[in-house]
Amino acid sequence: MAGRELKALFRAYREGDELAFRRAAQEIVEEEEAKNHVALARDLRALLAGGGARSAVAPGVTLPEPPKDREGEWPLAQVRHAERGLDDLVLDGALVERLRTLAEEYRRWEEIDRRGIPRRQRILFHGPPGCGKTSAAEAVATEVGLPLVVVRIDAVVSSYLGETASNLHRIFDFVGQGSWVLLFDEFDALGKARDDPTEHGEVKRVITAFLQMLDAFRGPSLLIAATNHEHLLDPALWRRFDDVLEFPRATVHQSRKLLRSRLRAVKHQRLDIDASASRLKGKPHAAVEKVAWDAIRFAVLADRDVVQQSDLDRAINDALARPW
Ligand SMILES: Nc1ncnc2c1ncn2[C@@H]1O[C@H](COP(=O)(O)OP(=O)(O)O)[C@@H](O)[C@H]1O
Ligand SMILES: [Mg+2]
């Protein structure tokens, strides 16, 4: 193990520099791999990835600053510690299994690499709003113990010609320096030019640049792109992803489970959870969760510490009266 990398590791620790730490650690792992120290390299990689721990990155550790736009004004991404885990979500069992497998696979990429088959590294989440795409991306980051880099599409899309593609480059360059879960949330907005909707040439250039960066995406990070508007996606995009996961609206069974889970922490009396969940049929999980929060709110405002069915009914009426 080279002294230079060890020094970099120690310096990064002293300065609480997560990015420098990961870069040095990554180099050490690669060096051990090159020396054919397979077991050691695998163990180090697992340690770096968190090995299934809730978070490998201590919340106290300072995360690096994300890149900014050309004027140095707007951060192009937000870097943060993931907090929610898969257990906080109510999703179809098969979907949870696929998400867990993805995390497990990440931890064992080396074995996948050794067999010469491609990794699943670029994942697309799609489905209606409020059904857990953003939350699941965060949960995957928690599972693999990596910090989350959430791209700020609004800051990335620039009215200057060519600048959107440059911003994308800045993000991919930054991400190339460490291991992260890189989240392009609502990334279909990349396909919209900011000021001039007639500027089709620029939109095409941005999509082409994004596709190239997606194709070239390697290294120790996972990329997740999420969209509520799969019908807007360029057909060339779908096959660029190594896997595509759909997040459908809550089933009645899931709504029941979600209501129970969110009302567990409060006192309640004679609630008809089954009937309430049935009334919420076809709604997204976010709506169901809000119903639980609203019902608790109504009880608080009525100076009761017990949630009643009338609170739940009122919350459901509100949820059914608004768009989701
Ligand atoms: N499957 C789910 N299980 C539990 N809560 C959920 C689920 N989906 C969404 N929520 C709740 O709704 C909020 C919005 O969901 P989000 O993950 O942002 O949905 P999306 O990204 O699909 O629009 C979340 O913060 C979470 O509290
Ligand atoms: Mg979202």
Q: Which CATH number goes with the domain that contains 175?
A: 3.40.50.300
Q: Is 254 in the pocket of ligand 1 (CB under 6 A)?
A: no
Same domain, 291 and 269: yes
Residues 71 and 167: beta-carbon distance below 8 Å: no
With respect to residue 263, please indicate whether it lies within any of the assigned structural domains. Answer: yes
Cα 68 to ligand 1 centre (Å): 28
Q: How many CA atoms lie within 13 A of 166 on its CB side?
A: 11
- Provide the whole-model pTM: 0.82
Same domain, 159 and 32: no
**pLDDT single digits (tens) 139-175:** 999 999 999 999 999 999 887 888 899 999 999 999 9
Widest pairwise Cα distance in the chain = 68
Distance separating alpha carbons of residues 30 and 22, to the nearest angstrom: 12
Average pLDDT of every residue of the chain: 89
CATH number, residue 281: 1.10.8.60
Q: Is 258 in the pocket of ligand 1 (CB under 6 A)?
A: yes
> Which residue CA neighbors atom 8 of ligand 1 most closely?
132
Q: Is 285 in the pocket of ligand 1 (CB under 6 A)?
A: yes
Other beta carbons within 10 Å of 292: 24
Same domain, 121 and 223: yes
Q: Which residues pair with 321 in a beta bridge?
A: none
Q: Is 130 in the pocket of ligand 1 (CB under 6 A)?
A: yes
Same domain, 36 and 167: no
Residue that terminates a domain, selected from 216, 246, 276: 246
Q: Tell which one of 124, 125, 131 to mutate to probe ligand 1, the residue whose CB is within 8 A of the most ligand atoms.
A: 131
Same domain, 7 and 117: no
With respect to residue 58, please indicate whether it lies within any of the assigned structural domains. Answer: no
Residue that terminates a domain, selected from 212, 246, 280: 246
With respect to residue 315, please indicate whether it lies within any of the assigned structural domains. Answer: yes
Roughly what angle, to the nearest 10 degrees, separates helices 200-215 and 163-175? 20
Q: Is 91 in the pocket of ligand 1 (CB under 6 A)?
A: yes
Residue 56: its pLDDT value, please?
46
pLDDT at 229 over 50: yes
Residues 19 and 178: beta-carbon distance below 8 Å: yes
Same domain, 226 and 163: yes
Q: Is 150 in the pocket of ligand 1 (CB under 6 A)?
A: no
Ordered DSSP codes for 244-275: EEE-PPPPHHHHHHHHHHHHTTSEE-S--HHH
Same domain, 193 and 237: yes
Residues 225 and 187: beta-carbon distance below 8 Å: yes
For 295-312, what is the mean pLDDT? Answer: 97
Cα 156 to ligand 1 centre (Å): 24
Same domain, 242 and 257: no
Residue-range definition of the domain harbouring residue 302: 252-321
Q: Is 89 in the pocket of ligand 1 (CB under 6 A)?
A: yes
Least confident piece of the model among 27-36, 47-56, 112-121, 301-310: 47-56
Same domain, 195 and 256: no
With respect to residue 14, please indicate whether it lies within any of the assigned structural domains. Answer: yes
Tell me, what DSSP letter sits at residue 198? T
Structurally, the chain folds into a number of domains equal to 3
For 299-310, what is the mean pLDDT? Answer: 97
Least confident piece of the model among 41-45, 108-112, 182-186: 41-45
Same domain, 231 and 256: no
Tokens 């699941």 belong to 136
With respect to residue 60, please indicate whether it lies within any of the assigned structural domains. Answer: no
Residues 143 and 103: beta-carbon distance below 8 Å: yes
Cα 86 to ligand 2 centre (Å): 15
Residue that terminates a domain, selected from 185, 218, 246: 246
Same domain, 82 and 43: no
List CB-based neighbours of ion ligand 2 within 5 Å.
133-134
Of residues 197 and 192, more confidence is placed in 192
Residues 170 and 76: beta-carbon distance below 8 Å: yes
Residue 204: its pLDDT value, please?
84
Q: How many residues does this entry show for the chain? A: 324
Give the number of whichever ligand sits closest to the CA of residue 245.
1
> Which residue CA neighbors atom 5 of ligand 1 most closely?
89
Give the number of whichever ligand sits closest to the CA of residue 251.
1
What's the count of helices (H) and strands (E) in the chain, helices before strands? 14, 8
Residue 21: its pLDDT value, please?
83
Roughly what angle, to the nearest 10 degrees, separates helices 93-107 and 133-144? 40
Residues 36 and 48: beta-carbon distance below 8 Å: no
With respect to residue 55, please indicate whether it lies within any of the assigned structural domains. Answer: no
For 80-90, what is the mean pLDDT? Answer: 93
Q: Which atom of ligand 1 is nearest to the CA of 89?
A: 3
Same domain, 133 and 275: no
**pLDDT single digits (tens) 210-219:** 999 999 998 8
Residue 61: its pLDDT value, please?
64
Grade residue 71 by pLDDT with cuts at 50, 70 and 90.
Answer: confident
Residues 203 and 192: beta-carbon distance below 8 Å: yes
Six token digits for residue 310: 């009338």
Six token digits for residue 317: 């009426």
Q: Which atom of ligand 1 is nearest to the CA of 286?
A: 12
With respect to residue 57, please indicate whether it lies within any of the assigned structural domains. Answer: no
With respect to residue 118, please indicate whether it lies within any of the assigned structural domains. Answer: yes
